[in-house]
Amino acid sequence: QKDVFVAGQDVAAGLVRMDILPRIYHLLETEPTAALEDSIISVTIAIARHSPKCTTAILKYPKFVQTIVKRFQLNKRMDVLSSQINSVRLLKVLARYDQSTCMEFVKNGTFNAVTWHLFQFTSSLDSWVKLGKQNCKLSSTLMVEQLRFWKVCIHSGCCVSRFPELFPALCLWLSCPSFEKLREK
């Protein structure tokens, strides 16, 4: 059937058939603003969640995933961007597609590249709170998404061995913090 007819019946499938993915890839390569990058990745998440065919279309375009990881890594400071959170969400959705995709993410270093924040040891809650309210929200959201990505990988049979490396960084969160301190800040 023609692309226009398919797009009328199913927008996501129509967009994929009309080659939206190479266009999204091109926009990511042109160093977009943070807001545009976040929106582009959000649209890609929606496409990936739509159907297995759409997920397959994204995975058939390996440069796309590499670009997402590269964009994630550009911000090496401890502050977190919302596009980084969406990047981890996208990779989590793609990893759920099948076990081999998840294993490939682990093998080619994608998993390590987007979860390095998890392994950053924070000595105390005070040092984390000093980041400021907005950065605390973003970093905690990123941490949750990274843990969810790790969970998907564990369900696929990989990354369980990473727990000893992760445990020291998680110890801060495993002990009950003083919520009075958090409320003050």
Tens-digit pLDDT profile for residues 130-143: 777 787 788 888 88
Give residue 77's pLDDT. 56
According to the model, what pLDDT value does residue 177 have? Answer: 60
* pLDDT computed for residue 10 by the predictor: 72
The predicted structure's pLDDT at residue 125: 67
State residue 5's pLDDT score. Answer: 64
pLDDT at 42: 92
pLDDT attached to residue 95:
93
Residues 110 and 84: their CA atoms lie apart, in Å, by: 13
What pLDDT score does 11 carry?
74
pLDDT of residue 79: 67
Q: How far apart are CA 70 and CA 64, in angstroms?
A: 10
Tens digits of residue pLDDT in 77-98: 556 788 899 999 999 999 998 8
- Say what the pLDDT of residue 134 is: 82
Q: Which residues of the chain have pLDDT under 70?
A: 1-9, 75-79, 120-128, 172-179, 181-185
